[in-house]
Each structure stands twice: as structure tokens, then as C-alpha cells.
């Protein structure tokens, strides 16, 4: 395989004064409690905000709002709302009323049907949450009675009565570990179930309230919880909520909302209840940017790193986000089973809506053709890595390039790389890329013929620490695999490829 690697450097500047650059503006007035902001799962330009008895909808990423559907009868406040990817006309809303309720619409808010009645939600609480791995599964609590719905809130079944804690403030479910559920309550602390809510144990105790829990969808087992009262602060868990530690920066401050960017675990936002401050980190909590936003905070919501909201007591606010430059630092390709795996990385991103991958033959007799696309990370100063796969109809030599597109439609092209999809002529193991790395890296290798393959990682003493590929028969060709070392400590490791009677070994370096 011929493979050309181009290192691309674009204009770079240093972003300063981020705290001063963030500013907030009220986009929709209302009486906010709970977590009443969400987006359409199929279109992040569409934002919903619920207040009093009305749901509002924006089609321009929260710049302007208008009424969506009819008012919800009897509602004095919308506590939180859940949308579904199955239908843009369907929504669940937990409402505060003479007796608290959950209502559902399937016709864009034209009619609302009560599906859970005579409930008691915490005054400030976020009563409902979906299971990220099973979006039709929704959980709620009335006082300490735990309910589950399998049909997106149409019907509810009681799971348990949790006598150990008071009225809940927030419920969260771990992605890919749906049996683990966390609840923060309004007087006691954080509680954990490892059997889908049947039984509960206390995992963190405080004399105040745990208003919000946020689970990191990309760092397995990681969650954050805010504290109001009880000394205040922000706590973090990295073991699926079993244990919690305080983040010193927030000690003594009564915190409320917390959220993590869906595609960027290092971008976290936290709201102070009555301190007129929203805090943002772009580097996983090493440094915090302080922004000013008056009134009481009830929730913070990150659609992406360019689109962030806060529900305050006067209504829904959106931040004006400072931009940092886009810097593409690498673009490379490997071939496996006739498929071309394109990978690239960015050091920073500016207003990055998406990348489109384009291809043409090396003979230059045809035009560039779009073959795939991937969403960008908006604005970030954290290194990001991307990967796309293409399978040309025939073997041969191809050219690939990236088209980086901003949210306003402006775009730039990368340089091109040349790839040959023919069968390799030798058995080889490439150096992992990037190296050093944290926590993921790509390992590429070539097979001249079909073989049973083992790819394992060893520590420097020769002890096997993980087996990436075990006794798997692979065809001849160029192969690439992503290795995630998040469960390993920093250090130098060996990775060994065995194919039949042949073996090759190289070193890799993990820096956390």
C-alpha cells in the first residue's frame, strides 16, 4: 500500500480573555425550574424550552422562539421535557400542577394526554430521565416511589419504594450500563442502584441538596453532581457513582446545574444557584472560566460547544461563544479488506459544523465526489480525532481530501492523500498513531494472506495487560484498529502482532 501523510497547519492564534468574551442574553422569558431545555435529537438547530404551561420552539439554535402547540392544561411550571428521535411531533413533559403530572403529546403539542397523575415532584427537581441505550425507557419518581416506562411514557410501572431517601432532584442512567442508576435527593445525598432501580444504596451523604447529576457519555463510568447547602461544591465519580470526590474549585459555593458536551468530555458547564455565575471548562476541569449571569440558575444545557444555554429564574438564556482557530494537524489513511480508513486530528476548532470526505481516482478523469461526513466539535481547544471509512467499488489508486464546513456555510479544503487499495506484498506492523497518545491510538498492520491473528499489549516487564485481537481469522489486506487505553496507567508498553508463525513487536507510550 502506498500511503502519503500530510501534516497540515492552518492559521493559529492564541485565544485570551475567554471569561470576558462569553456573554449571555435572554432569548425567551419564563419561570424556569428543573431542566426545561432540550433539542430535537435529529436536528440540533431545533431547541425547545418549557415554562409555565407553554412549550416554546426555536428553529435557529435558540436565537428566537415561538409557541409550540397549545398550553398544557393546569400546568404552573414545566419541570423538564424529553424528545424522541422517532418523531418530531412527540414529547414528554413533567409539570407542576395542583397535583404533579407527566403529560405526552404525539401531535406537536396540539393535544396533551396525562399519563402519570397525582405525583409529587421536588419543587426544584428534574423528575424524568431516559435510558440513553434504550430511549423508549423512561424513569421517574413521585416522592420515593420509583417508576419505569417502556413505551416512552405512555404507561408507567412501579419498580420500587426507596425508603432510604427523600424526594429526588435528579435521576440519571449510565450509557451502556443501563442497570446502574443514580438519584440525587433534596436533603440527604446521592443514591445508587445496580439492578435497574429495584434496590438502592447510599453512595454520598450531605446535609444539603444534590440538584443535578450529569453523566459523561464518552468517559465510561464518569459523572458529576452539584451540591446546594452542606458546604456546597461539585463532586465527581469515575467508578459509575460508587464513590465521589469534591472538586476544590467550587468548595463553599452552592451549585445547581451541570452538563457535559455530548461530543467533548472536556467541555463542562456548571451553574451557581444564587451567585450570578456560570462556570465553563474546556480542559476537563483543570481551568475554569467564570461568566456572569444574573438571577438564580436552575439548569445548564450544552447542545454543542458553540450552543450553550442556561435556564435562570427569568427564562432561557443563550451564550455568545468566543471563537478559537481551527488547526488540522494530521490526515492519514490505512486500508483493510478493501476498505479505506481515513483518520485525522485537530488541535483546535473554530465554528466547525462538520467534515465531508471527498474522493476521486488518481487518473484525474473524474470529479471529486462526497463519500461521507462527520460532525465537528464546534469550538474547542482540545485535540480531537476523527475517523471515516470508505469502500471504493474497485481496487486501484485514489485521492482523498477533507472539506471542513463552518456553521455559516463557509468551507476550506485540506491537502490530498493518495491511497492504493491493492493487497500488500509483505507482513508488517506500523507504529501506532498518534504516539504518545491519550487515551486512544490507531494500530495498523498488513497481511499478505489470510491468517489467525493475535494483537496483545504488554507492560515493560512482559506481563500481558490486554488482548486487542484474540485468535481472529483475518483476510489478506491492510488492517487498522483503534486501541483505547483509558483503563491503563501512563507508561511505555509493548504491542505484539502474531499471524500464524510470524510475529512483530513495537513500543507505544501512553501519557495521561
User: Is the whole model's pTM more than 0.85, yes or no?
Assistant: no
Rounded distance between C-alpha atoms, residue 193 and residue 39, angstroms = 28
pLDDT tens for residues 3-27?
222 223 232 222 333 334 789 999 9
- What are φ and ψ of residue 373, in 5° steps? -150, 160
CATH of 423-512, one of 3.40.50.1000, 2.60.40.2550, 3.90.1170.50, 3.40.250.10: 2.60.40.2550
Q: Return the number of other C-beta atoms located less than 10 Å from residue 378's C-beta.
A: 24
Residue 424 DSSP one-character state: P
Give the three-state DSSP class for 249.
Answer: helix
Contact 343, 332 (CB under 8 A): yes
pLDDT at 117: 96
Q: Which three cell numbers stand for residue 129?
A: 430521565
CA 490 to the chain's CA centroid = 24
Every domain range in the chain assigned CATH 2.60.40.10: 1-16+322-422
Contact 473, 451 (CB under 8 A): yes
Q: Which three cell numbers stand for residue 493?
A: 508498553
Give the three-state DSSP class for 337.
Answer: coil
- Helical (H) or strand (E) element with 144: none
pLDDT at 145: 94
Contact 400, 357 (CB under 8 A): yes
pLDDT at 128: 97
Question: CA quadruple 447, 450, 451, 452: dihedral positive or negative?
Answer: positive
- Please give the chain's pLDDT, 512 residues, in tens: 222 222 232 322 223 333 347 899 999 999 888 999 999 988 888 999 999 999 999 999 999 999 999 999 999 999 999 999 899 999 999 999 999 999 999 999 999 999 999 999 988 899 999 999 899 999 999 998 999 999 999 999 999 998 888 889 999 999 989 999 999 999 899 999 999 999 999 999 999 999 999 999 878 899 999 999 999 999 999 999 999 999 999 999 999 999 998 877 888 999 999 989 999 998 788 889 999 998 999 999 998 877 899 999 999 999 987 655 567 777 878 777 678 888 888 878 888 889 999 998 877 667 788 999 999 988 877 878 898 889 888 878 888 888 888 887 777 778 778 787 876 778 889 888 788 888 888 888 888 888 899 999 998 888 899 999 988 888 777 777 878 888 888 889 999 999 988 999 999 988 87
Rounded distance between C-alpha atoms, residue 388 and residue 394, angstroms = 18
CA distances from 362 to 339, 411, 421 (A): 17, 24, 12
Spatial CA neighbour of 387 closest among 373, 399, 401: 373
Every domain range in the chain assigned CATH 2.60.40.2550: 423-512
Every domain range in the chain assigned CATH 2.120.10.30: 18-30+211-321
Q: Which three cell numbers stand for residue 94?
A: 413533567
Q: Which three cell numbers stand for residue 48?
A: 425547545
In 3-state terms the chain splits into helix, strand, coil percentages (rounded to 5) of 0, 60, 40
Rounded distance between C-alpha atoms, residue 497 and residue 460, angstroms = 16
pLDDT at 364: 62
CATH code assigned to 18-30+211-321: 2.120.10.30
Rounded distance between C-alpha atoms, residue 428 and residue 334, angstroms = 13
pLDDT at 323: 54
Strand partners, 160: 146
Rounded distance between C-alpha atoms, residue 37 and residue 303, angstroms = 10
Question: Does domain 1-16+322-422 sit in CATH 1.10.287.70?
Answer: no
Location of C-alpha cell 419498580: 159
Amino acid at each position: 500500500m502506498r500511503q502519503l501523510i500530510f501534516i497540515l497547519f492552518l492559521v493559529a492564534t492564541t485565544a485570551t480573555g475567554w471569561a470576558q468574551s462569553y456573554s449571555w442574553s435572554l432569548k425567551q422569558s419564563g419561570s424556569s425550574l428543573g431542566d426545561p431545555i432540550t433539542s430535537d435529537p435529529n436536528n440540533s438547530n431545533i431547541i425547545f424550552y418549557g415554562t409555565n404551561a407553554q412549550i416554546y420552539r426555536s428553529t435557529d439554535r435558540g436565537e428566537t422562539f415561538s409557541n409550540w402547540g397549545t398550553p398544557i392544561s393546569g400546568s404552573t411550571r414545566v419541570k423538564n421535557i424529553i424528545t424522541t428521535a422517532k418523531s418530531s411531533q412527540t414529547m414528554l413533559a413533567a409539570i407542576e400542577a395542583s397535583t404533579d403530572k407527566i403529560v405526552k403529546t404525539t401531535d406537536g403539542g396540539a393535544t396533551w394526554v396525562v399519563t402519570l397523575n397525582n405525583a409529587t415532584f421536588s419543587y426544584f427537581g428534574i423528575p424524568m430521565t431516559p435510558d440513553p441505550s434504550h430511549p423508549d425507557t423512561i424513569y421517574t419518581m413521585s416522592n420515593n416511589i420509583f417508576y419505569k416506562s417502556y413505551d416512552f411514557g405512555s404507561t408507567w410501572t412501579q419498580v420500587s419504594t426507596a425508603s432510604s431517601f427523600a424526594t429526588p432532584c435528579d435521576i440519571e442512567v449510565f450509557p451502556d450500563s443501563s442497570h446502574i442508576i443514580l438519584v440525587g435527593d433534596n436533603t440527604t445525598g446521592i443514591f445508587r442502584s445496580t439492578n435497574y432501580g429495584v434496590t438502592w444504596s447510599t453512595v454520598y451523604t450531605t446535609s444539603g441538596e444534590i440538584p443535578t447529576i450529569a453523566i459523561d457519555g464518552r468517559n465510561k463510568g464518569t459523572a458529576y453532581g452539584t451540591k446546594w447547602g452542606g458546604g456546597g461544591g461539585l463532586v465527581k465519580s469515575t467508578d459509575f457513582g460508587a464513590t465521589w470526590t469534591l472538586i476544590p474549585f467550587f468548595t463553599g459555593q452552592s451549585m445547581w446545574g451541570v452538563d457535559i458536551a455530548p461530543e467533548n468530555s472536556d467541555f463542562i458547564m456548571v451553574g451557581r444557584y444564587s451567585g450570578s455565575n456560570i462556570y465553563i471548562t474546556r480542559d476537563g476541569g483543570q481551568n475554569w472560566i467564570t461568566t456572569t449571569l444574573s438571577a438564580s440558575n436552575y439548569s445548564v444545557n450544552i447542545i454543542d460547544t458553540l450552543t450553550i444555554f442556561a435556564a435562570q429564574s427569568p427564562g432561557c438564556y443563550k451564550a455568545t461563544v468566543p471563537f478559537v482557530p481551527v488547526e488540522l494537524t494530521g490526515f492519514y489513511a490505512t486500508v483493510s479488506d478493501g476498505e479505506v480508513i481515513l483518520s485525522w486530528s485537530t488541535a483546535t476548532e473554530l465554528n466547525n459544523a462538520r467534515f465531508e470526505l471527498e474522493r476521486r481516482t488518481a487518473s484525474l478523469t473524474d470529479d471529486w465526489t462526497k463519500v461521507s461526513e462527520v460532525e465537528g466539535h464546534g469550538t474547542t481547544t482540545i485535540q480531537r480525532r476523527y475517523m471515516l471509512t470508505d469502500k471504493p467499488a474497485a481496487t486501484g489508486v485514489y485521492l482523498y481530501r477533507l472539506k471542513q464546513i463552518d456553521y455559516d456555510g463557509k468551507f476550506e479544503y485540506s491537502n490530498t492523500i493518495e491511497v492504493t487499495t491493492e493487497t500488500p506484498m509483505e507482513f508488517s506492523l506500523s507504529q501506532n498513531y498518534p504516539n504518545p497518545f491519550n487515551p486512544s491510538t490507531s494500530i495498523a498492520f498488513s497481511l499478505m494472506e489470510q491468517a489467525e491473528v493475535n494483537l496483545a499489549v504488554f507492560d515493560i516487564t512482559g506481563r500481558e495487560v490486554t488482548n486487542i485481537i484474540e485468535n481472529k481469522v483475518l483476510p489478506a489486506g491492510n488492517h487498522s484498529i483503534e486501541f483505547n487505553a483509558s483503563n491503563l496507567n501512563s507508561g511505555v508498553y509493548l504491542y505484539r502482532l502474531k499471524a500464524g508463525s510470524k510475529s512483530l513487536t513495537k513500543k507505544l507510550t501512553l501519557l495521561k
